[in-house]
Every structure is written in C-alpha cells, then in structure tokens.
Structure 1
C-alpha cells in the first residue's frame, strides 16, 4: 500500500545483512545501498571486499574507507588500473542552491586542493608506507591482501602491516619493491599465511624469503616467484626443509636449478600444482618430482631447453594423479614423451601443447587412446599434428567439452567430423587460422554437438554460410566469432540470429559481404546481445545499427572502426539508445561535440589522428 514501508518495518537487520551477503554482484549491492540510509549503513556493514585502483591521495582514501567499511577481510590494490574521479565541480543548479560555506562545500574545496597539489607530485597517485600503515590500522582483520605494482611501498610499511594484521592468510606483492626486512616481519607475525606471491619483487633476496618461510612453515601452501634475480636455490632448499604442507609452486627464474627443485620435491610431498619457467632445470629434477610428488595434479612447463622425453617418462611413471598438463615451447619433447604421459597418467582432463614442434600426430593419438577423462584439449602452433590425431580423440575422449586449435595446418574436415560424432558434449570450439577446416566439419558440429555454446572460427577461409546455417539449426550459441571468414555473408549471420536467441557476444569483423539486413535480424532474434564487433565491415551503415539498437537494449560494448558506412549519426544512435553501453570504439572524427558531452566516458578511439 502507498505510504507504508513493509520492508523496513518488518525485516530485522540480521535478515537484511544476510540478504546483502548473498548478493555477489557489485552493481546490485550498490543499487541496494541507494534505497535509504538504513540500507546504506547495512550494506557497508556487510561488505567484506574492497578493490582499489590508482587514484589521487590513496593514503587518505584508505583512511576514509576504513571509517565506512568495518568488516573488510579482502583488499585488492592494483595501481595498473587507472580510476578517474567523478567531477568535483558542482552542477549549475546545485551551485545556485547551495551555500558556499556549507560543510560539504568545504570538503569539496579540500578535495580540489588535494587534487591540484597531487598533480604536481606524481607519487600522490601511489600508495605509500603511510597508506599501508593506515590500512593496517583501519582493517586489522584483513585476511587477503593484494598490492599490485605499488612502487612506493617499502619494508617500513610492510613491517607495520605485519605487526597489526596477524590474521593475514594471502599476500600478493607483485611488482612491489619491498626488501628483506618487511618479508621477515611477515614471517614473524603472520603465522596463518597460506599464499604468497613475490612475482617481480626485485628488492628481495634469499635472506628475506628464508626468514618468511621459517616463520610461516606450518601454514604456507602456495608460493610464486618470478624475475627475482637474488632469489636462488637457497630459498627453495628452505621451502623443502620447512614447508611440509606446500601444494602450489610457481617459478619463473633463470637462477633456479636442479638443486632447488629437488629439495622441494624431497620435502613437499603434498605438492599438487607446479608451474615452471626455469631454463636451468633439467631432467634430473623431474626424476625427483615424478618419484616423490605422487599427489601432483597440474604441471605447466614453459620454454624449457633441458627438458626431454626422459623427464616426461619420469613424470608418467610417478605422477599417476596428473590431471592438467601444459607444454609450451618445449622443443626437445617429442611424441615419445607425450606417449609416456598418456600411458602413465590416465586421469588427464586437460592438455595444452603450444609450439612444441617435435610433438606430432602419434603423441595426440596416445592421449585419445589412454585418457578417456579428457575434457579440454588445446593445440597451438602444432604443424605436425594431422587428422588421425583428432580422430582418436573423437573415439576415445567422449567427455571432451573444449577444443582449441590455432595454426594447425594438418587438421581438416575429417578430423572435425570425428570430433563431432564422438564428442557430443562439446561446449566450446575455438579455431583460428586452420585453413583446411571448412563447411563440412562445422556442419557436422552443428548436427551432433547440441550443447555447443561458444564457437570461434577466426580467419578460417573455407567456412561459409552453410556452416552457420547448420549451427543455427542445431546449437543455441551464446558467443560467436567469425572474424575474417570472408565466405560468410548475410545468410549465415541471419541464420544465427534466428536460431540462437541466447547470443550475448558476436564478432563479425573483417567480413566484406555483410550488410544491414543481418543487423536487423539480430535485433529481432537476439535481445540479450551485449558485445558486438563490426570493425572493417564496409557495407554496414547507420540504418543497420538503428534497427539493431531498437531491440538490443542490453548492449554494453560496440566496436565499429573502419566502417565507412557508419557516420556520426550512427554513433549517436548507439550511445543514446543503449542505456547499459560501457564502451564504443570508433574513429575520433565520427564523434560530434554533442555526443562527447553526452557519453564521452564510454567512447574510445583507435587512432586519435583520424
């Protein structure tokens, strides 16, 4: 009934707090906080996570947040993300109706003053030790803290944080120039620390890492190190000696050798996830990993120069629980090594082979023959893999859900027909520059793979309208990318529009035979469309855009550079008709001053000089 507040008068605070806690979407939480002052207070009380980008006076910003949000347990500060502040100049109406001596006006003047002074000092846009101390004072119960590329944070601030935030469980210091003293303080006070990321922490040495490892030995489960020249095998020996519960290890270093990795394998028998890019590690270390790390589930190896089939055989013999294997630019691994993995690791669910030029058809055939649980297969830049490899995958891997092919010149339609007939649970198919795959293979996918939701066929020259007509009849796609498939024209996109009402993402860039008619059909048939890429489509005009935005009210992004038929009127139509629009990519000269005033924040320019 009008005039009666049945929600606030009936629902207790405990119930409203529980409702707010179950809202995972930040926009939904923000919308609830605008209902009334009570809801605003309760929403702040229930919030547990803060995400902060680069902003002016971040130290003061932290202090302000600590007074408003009292139960924060996770804080993510990422200074790679630029956050523009809202305009601080009052609107004309408010300026006339508000006294210049009011408290809010004085606050506004103070903020403006801080902003101008900050413009003269670049460091004012970066979190400092003072801000880290304020964070520790304001959020003593924080458990998860990420400080990404905060160059002005040092050991002084980290020591202050460690002393007060003793409940810390996860610490990410990626790109921070902290020293050994700060890391030692974390080891001394934060006895519950489980996850530690030290990627690109150039100021650290073995001394700080060892002090932390010794202090957090009973809790530490995950460690990541990259591009830290002074962290050597000594640190890994300490990890192996003390961190008996370690499960995850990420290493990207030229200064780590067999000795360090062997120490980890000997001491950390619970290791489950190992990701390495270490040119100094050889087969000798992997013999220890295969023999001792029997719980290993994920193994990712990048750019190994001294890793061969011998190391693969040792992994295959010992790591029977391996589920996820990634080999990238491992030039000395051949089909024999992959066969050894397939024979020994029958629980494999995901395999990615990227640029390993000595792995060919026989290795992938072994995966198809011995790994029936395979769900995801990615073959990138594998020129020696032929059709029979995927034919065996189709016969043996009935649970396959995702297939990713890039620059695989030996794979054609016969392989795709085998996948379609054998892997009927396929949900995602991503193909790029596989020039032997054409209509026949994709028609088979549309006929047999009814669960397919994502299809990407970038620059596959032999795929045409017949393929998309079959997909439209057989699959309810949510995402489609046919960029550069020049045989596709209006008929193919129109078939998708009629057959895939759940479509949310569409990329038809660089299609020279697409006109306005498919856009009109997309407007009628795909009302849930959110992301649209039309760049380099020479026959699409403002008329097609107008028909599309009449019905696609959920559109969030639209890329339409190098489309000569789209003018400033079309750009204005998109930004005025789509209330949820977040990004429009267009040439600068096609944006009028009126459009800039109305939606300047959502417009991006590919080339400023056009």
Structure 2
C-alpha cells in the first residue's frame, strides 16, 4: 500500500536486530542503517565488533564509537592500522631501556612528564580506555595492539567496569604490574591473555594474576618480557591447572620454569617455545606429563637433541601438529620417533634443521597416513625417495610447501602428484631442479588444486602452466621469477581459470600487454595482481586490465619502466574497490595523490 510502512509495523525490533547480527559485510550493515531512523538505531545497537586505529585522534574516535554502538562486546584497537584522522604528530613507540627497572620507567598512575606525553597525546590514552570501560560494560574481548600510551591506570579502569572480559591482548603495551593484578582480581571470566612485548611487566604482575585467575585462564602468550622469569611460570603451574595453550619466547626462562608448567598444567594442548636456555630435561618433562598435547612448536633450539623428541613421541600420543624450526641437533632419529609414536600426525613443518635427511621423512610417509600438511623449508639433504614414501602413504595430503630443497627434482613432485591427488595448495620456491615434468604430472592428477606458487623455479615453462590450467581450476597463482613462462602459458590460465583472484607474474621478462587484456576478458573476479619488474607492460595494458577486472583491490607495479603516471591514474580511477597500489612515488601525479593518496604505497629506496 502506497505510503504504508508495513515492514516496520509488523517487524519487531528484536527480530530486526537478529537479522542485522547475521549480516557479516560492513557495507551491508551500512546500507541497512540508511533505510530509516529506526533501522539506523537498531543497526547501531546490534553491532558487536569494531576495529579502529590507536593513532590519530584515537580517544575521540573511540568515545564516538562507544556512544554510537551501545552493544559492543569485541573491540580491536591497533596502532598499526591507518588512522581515520590525519595528524602531523607521529605517535611515540620508542622502547624504554630494557635494563632499567619498570617501576622507574612507568609508575602505576601513569603521571609522566609533560615533555614525555607531548608526542603521545594523539595515541590512545588511559582517558580513551576509560570511555570504553564506561560505555561497554559488557565487553568480552579487548585487543590493544602497540598502544604504547596505555598504563596500569587504564587497565584498572577496564577491570573495575568490564567484569565479563574473557580475552585480553596487550601486545606491545607498556603496562605495569598493578593493572594486570587488577584484571586478575576483577575479571573472573578471563580465559585468554596475550602479553607479547609487554616490557613493563615483572613477575609480580603475572604471579598476582595467576593467583587470582588461575582457575579460569586457558591461553597465555608471553614474548620479550625481560622481567618475567621462572618465578612466573611456577606460579602459572601452581594456579592455572586448566591452561591449554602456552606460547613462550624468552631468553630468561630456564628448564625449571618449563618443567613446572609441564607438571602443573597437565591439560596443555598447544605449546610453542622459543627459549634458548632450555634443554632435553624440560622437553622430557613435557613428554612425561602432557599426554593431551596436540600441537608442539619448537623454535631456535640449540641445546636439545633427539632425546627430547623420543620423550615427546612416547608420552604425547595425541600430537597432531609439529613444527621444528632451526633445531640444529635433531637428526632423522627424531622424525622416526615421532612417526612411530604419533601416528595421528596431520601437520609437519621442518625449517632449517640441517641434520634431518631423507630417512626421517620416509618414516613419516610410511607411518602417518593422516598427514594433511607438509612444509619443508631449507632442507637441502632430503631427497626424492622421501617423497615416494609420502606419495605412497599419505593420500590425504592437501598442502605441500617446499622452499630451498635443493636435492629434489621432478621425480619428487611426480611421486606426490600420483599418490596425493587431494592436493589443494602447492607452494615451491627456489627448488632449482624442479621443472615442467613434475608440474605436468600435477596438472594431470591433482584436479582439486586451487593455489599454486612456483617462485623462481627457472626450469618450469609454458607446457607446465598449460597442463595445470587445463587440469585445475586455480584461484591463486604465483609464477614470479619463472623466466621460461611467456604469454602463452598465462593465456591458458586466463582461458581456463575464470575464478582466479590472485596473480603474481613479477620478474617475468616476456609478458606483454596482451596478457592483461586476456585477463580482463576471462578473469572478472581478479582482486590482487603483482606486475613488478615486468619490463614490457605499459599503460595500454593497464587500461585493458581495468575494463574487465572491476573487483581489483591491490596492484603492485614497481620497476615497470613503461608504466607512467597515466597508467597509475587509470588503475585508481577505474577500480572502485582499490585499496592499495604500490608504485614509485615519482610516477604519481599531484592530482592523483590528492584524490586517492590513502591507497598509494611508495617504494622507499634511500640513496646515501
């Protein structure tokens, strides 16, 4: 009926808000808010999550957001995000002297000198956090990433007002012990806590939190906190019996701290360690006490041996994900222990473990049939026969990543392709012996492949890319540095892969404008393209590209000598969804800078 508001008459507010909460796209929510004042009011009340920058006029922005969206439960504040307000004053993120006492550097009330506060007045401050605390008393998740001006005073305000807080991320915040203790005393539902790069904390703060909130804490992350030692971990072990996830990066923690956690937190499921002073004794305690462990990541370990992995394999039968990064004393025996003891393994990453060779991976292939993802970085001693065993035994494998594996060739890739036909993601970088033969086998056998990256595999040519295009429906393709690939191979990709959303053809010598014209005609979903170092691409090719690829969001085209300011203007003016263009600054006109300066990123090269 003309003039009658039937929707608002019969649709109750509660149902309208339920509809709004099921809309995920911000653009859809914004469109709904423009329908009428009732819809705008309900849409604002239904918003549960916001993400804003911590720099610029952060306090004012947060105050406005809290006043407008009254139902917020998840708030993410990150100084790394671009600010909505331009201000010439750059927020201070200077690190304090790590050798100074936290009490000397940052007191509880945060009353720093006027001179110190001057460069930080445009950061998020305790006043802004106070507005959040007063306006969002139902807050459940709060992330403060690199908010360097926040002190204990701000955290105390959050603790006193946001009693339902469940997750707190303080990465890079220089908060003090009293604020953390206040969170422990008041936030009885706290489950997740991230203290990475919180340089102002000492054992006093973490011990106090553990004593008050140990019964609820499930996840804890600590990194680069010079004043947190084994004393804190012993408190965690004594009070946090429900802890399931621990991520620890520290130069000051020793065996005693890890042993305490292993014995006191038997429910641990995820353990990530980068601690240079721990040895076999600590990991033996993990193996003997943490039978529920499912994920283990060990980074830069130089003091533990195969003995550690033997203990893990004996005691952690539920282990599914294992990462070994720069563990120089480990040998094939470690992988043999894991393969025999942890047959449920689904994810394996080996990075820079120079003494792991072929036989260890052969055991994984024979004894871990559920392997889903395999990543090998800088493993020059692993040879083709290992991949023959993986191909035979790991038919469920879907993700394979190989970087600088210099002893394998086409035979290794053929073994994988013929045995692991469920491969969906294949990334290969700088494996110089791999050529077209192995990739042709992938195209013939791996019909589910959607994500292919073959960076700097100089033996791969057009015939491989044609086979891949005809056999697989790619969504992501990276062939940067594959100098034998020409427009013929990429034309096949354009014709056969209409769902392509990401393409990197940087450092290809033989790519001309015609390729961009074919992409425009055949790949309308393309969102991200990398053209850097393509010496024959011109403004004409870019004009062809934007005609059909209207969804383009990012474009990188540095060191393209035939691209001019006109080509840059074509990209930014024709693509309404463009978010980032990487280009040399001297190629951009002043008019383009004024119109779309926020989407331009410039290559920075300092010539001294």
TM bracket, shorter-chain basis: over 0.9
After TM superposition, give the deviation of residue 521 of structure 1 in Å: 1.1
After alignment, is 48-57 or 201-210 more displaced? 48-57
Distance 1:269 1:373 in 2: 26
What is the match of residue 73 of structure 2?
A: 73
- Whether 1:551 aligns to 2:533 is no
1:35-74 to structure 2, matched below 5 A, reads 35-74=35-74
What is the match of residue 27 of structure 1?
A: 27
What is the match of residue 523 of structure 2?
A: 526
Corresponding residue SS for 2:601: strand
What is the match of residue 173 of structure 1?
A: 170
What is the match of residue 229 of structure 2?
A: 232
What is the match of residue 106 of structure 2?
A: none
Corresponding residue SS for 1:81: coil
1:100-179 to structure 2, matched below 5 A, reads 121-179=118-176
Corresponding residue SS for 2:121: helix
The CA RMSD over aligned residues, in Å, is 1.9
Corresponding residue SS for 2:79: strand
8 A Cα contact 1:587 1:608, kept in partner:
no
Corresponding residue SS for 2:284: helix
After superposition, the C-alpha distances for 1:517-552 in whole angstroms (9 at most, x for unaligned) are 211111111111111111111111222222221111
What is the match of residue 83 of structure 1?
A: 83
After alignment, is 199-208 or 570-579 more displaced? 570-579
Corresponding residue SS for 1:502: coil
Distance 1:62 1:359 in 2: 51
Distance 1:140 1:229 in 2: 33
2:587 pairs with 571, 587, 590, which one? 590
- Whether 1:203 aligns to 2:200 is yes
After TM superposition, give the deviation of residue 430 of structure 1 in Å: 0.5
Q: In the superposition, relative to structure 1, how do residues 121 and 34 fare at CA in structure 2: closer, same or farther (>3 Å)?
A: farther
Q: In the superposition, relative to structure 1, how do residues 5 and 500 fare at CA in structure 2: closer, same or farther (>3 Å)?
A: farther
Number of residue pairs aligned between Structure 1 and Structure 2: 580
Distance 1:572 1:285 in 2: 59
What is the match of residue 97 of structure 2?
A: none
After TM superposition, give the deviation of residue 22 of structure 1 in Å: 0.8
What is the match of residue 426 of structure 2?
A: 429
What is the match of residue 515 of structure 1?
A: 512
1:455-474 to structure 2, matched below 5 A, reads 455-474=452-471
Distance 1:543 1:151 in 2: 47
8 A Cα contact 1:262 1:289, kept in partner:
yes
After superposition, the C-alpha distances for 1:478-501 in whole angstroms (9 at most, x for unaligned) are 000000000000100000000100
After TM superposition, give the deviation of residue 86 of structure 1 in Å: 7.5
1:409-448 to structure 2, matched below 5 A, reads 409-448=406-445
Q: In the superposition, relative to structure 1, how do residues 128 and 339 fare at CA in structure 2: closer, same or farther (>3 Å)?
A: same
Q: In the superposition, relative to structure 1, how do residues 429 and 141 fare at CA in structure 2: closer, same or farther (>3 Å)?
A: same
What is the match of residue 330 of structure 1?
A: 327
- Whether 1:347 aligns to 2:313 is no
After TM superposition, give the deviation of residue 250 of structure 1 in Å: 0.7
What is the match of residue 386 of structure 1?
A: 383
8 A Cα contact 1:223 1:248, kept in partner:
yes
2:355 pairs with 350, 355, 358, which one? 358
Distance 1:513 1:3 in 2: 63
Distance 1:278 1:430 in 2: 30
1:252 pairs with 236, 249, 252, which one? 249
After TM superposition, give the deviation of residue 194 of structure 1 in Å: 0.7
> What TM-score do the two structures reach when normalised by structure 1?
0.92
> What TM-score do the two structures reach when normalised by structure 2?
0.92
8 A Cα contact 1:258 1:282, kept in partner:
yes
Q: In the superposition, relative to structure 1, how do residues 86 and 39 fare at CA in structure 2: closer, same or farther (>3 Å)?
A: farther
Structure 2 portions without partners, runs of 5+: 88-114
